Structure 1
Amino acid sequence: MKTLSDITLYDLMAEDMDVWVRKRTSNTFEIQIDDENGETLLEDDSIHEFAVDSFARFCKYFLFSYNNANKKELELC
């Protein structure tokens, strides 16, 4: 099983994954990432809320940029 330090963007993009996030305490979260076969690739139960917030912000920016790139491609057609 991978740790947060081991997983790469390539790992995240290589296959369909399920992500589970749970708030454990007032300042920690748990994350679990399962592969397309339902096997757990990563599990961590003590991620600080600031780290989760930063990652969520990164994901939002990625989706915004991704959607804009797709819109521009459609406009060129």
Structure 2
Amino acid sequence: MTEFGFRWGLMVVCLMIFGVSFAALLWASWKHHRGGSPERVNFHSSLAVEIAWTVTPCVIVLLLVWPTARIFWTP
């Protein structure tokens, strides 16, 4: 795989992550604005949600850094 092809592939992956994240944000905003369910869920003190919000971006970054580092450190 050429360096140009690799960079193009990484850009496509980043754009897909952006698209999914933006769609989820728009969906959540729309559901919140429309008042989805009568009972509201409080996420402010949820340890599981806080861990998920921390771990997910770290995993995404590590998955994108690994192949990039391999390309640059290959002799």
Q: Under TM normalisation by the shorter chain, which class is it? A: 0.3 to 0.5
Report which structure shows greater RCO (CA 8 Å, sep ≥6): 2
Q: Point out the structure with the larger strand share.
A: 1
The structure with more radius of gyration? 2
TM-score (norm 2): 0.37
